Amino acid sequence: MNFICIIPSRYASTRLPGKPLADIAGKPMVQRVYEQAAKASKIGQVVVAVDNPKVYDTVVSFGGHAVMTREDHATGTDRLAEAAGHFPEADVIINVQGDEPLIAPDVIDSLCQAFEDDAALEMATVATPLAEDEYDDPNAVKVVLNCHGEAMYFSRSLIPYPRNSFTGRIQPYKHIGIYAYRRTFLFAYASMAQTPAEKTESLEQLRVLENGYKIKVITTNHQFIGIDTPEDLEHVRAYFAHKGDTTI
């Protein structure tokens, strides 16, 4: 099975302009993400889908592979689908968000394995236990799983609400910004109109659930720091200052 990793990298950002080029311990963020993804053993190729020549040139300068995409895509999924069109040989596309410089390679491999194990699987993602100090953080997206390990709902609010306490397998999970799609499903997904819950929560993955499709959720104990705010960026910089440029 042919797996390709595509990293959508949007230059404009309301809270962090030029985010892909933000310096993290001497390397731009986009390079940090790229290098982590490239460590996954099951990935045949890593590509950055860019919308700005500065990011394109940066990726090429560190020896990476980039494809230019339109600037006016409404969502990251649209950008991903455009980039995937350049690689017809890919059976499964792994989408690693461009603001996840601590993404673990073995998590990427776990997603690939899920598709090797299940020929009917169309889409999968990843979640990790939610820390208590993230319960009220809207940037920490929550997900609830059913007994088959599939997503029931994603929200920026705490779900499920613990009327008394969290019970049994029902516990709060934090969604990690990595997805995997069978090629045909990715293009079908990108062609779907945006849905009410998706617009309300500003979460693209809800479009899949609202249209009646399933999302497999791989759980991990790895903790990641997605960079949404200047504070997140400083947190990651502090991590590298403490750990050094080591394998995650």
Rounded to an integer, what distance in angstroms lies between the CA atom of residue 142 and that of residue 154? 6
Give, in degrees to the nearest 5, the angle at Cα 131 between 136 and 11. Answer: 70
Q: Is residue 229 part of a domain?
A: no
Burial (CB count <10 Å: 0-12, 13-18, 19+), residue 247:
exposed
Mean pLDDT in the chain?
92
Q: Is residue 68 part of a domain?
A: yes
Express each pLDDT in 187-205 by its tens digit: 999 999 999 999 999 999 9
Query: At which residue do the structure tokens 């045909």 appear?
Result: 184
Q: Is residue 236 part of a domain?
A: no
b or e along 31-50 (b: 16 or more beta carbons within 10 Å of the residue's beta carbon)? bbbbbbbbbbebbeebbbbb
Which residues of the chain fall short of a pLDDT of 70? 244-248
The reported pLDDT for the residue numbered 246 is 54
Express each pLDDT in 135-169 by its tens digit: 999 989 999 999 999 999 999 999 998 988 888 77
Burial (CB count <10 Å: 0-12, 13-18, 19+), residue 219:
middle
Rounded to an integer, what distance in angstroms lies between the CA atom of residue 183 and that of residue 91? 6
DSSP 8-state code for residue 132 = G
The reported pLDDT for the residue numbered 13 is 75
Q: Is residue 106 part of a domain?
A: yes
Rounded to an integer, what distance in angstroms lies between the CA atom of residue 228 and that of residue 235? 11
The reported pLDDT for the residue numbered 247 is 45
List the domain range (segments joined by +) for residue 214.
3-222
List beta partners, residue 74: none
Q: Is residue 235 part of a domain?
A: no
Q: Is residue 246 part of a domain?
A: no
% of the chain surpassing 70 pLDDT:
98
- CATH code, 203: 3.90.550.10
Q: Is residue 80 part of a domain?
A: yes
How far lies 51's CA from each of 8, 67, 88, 183, 232, in Å? 9, 9, 21, 22, 23
Number of domains in the chain: 1
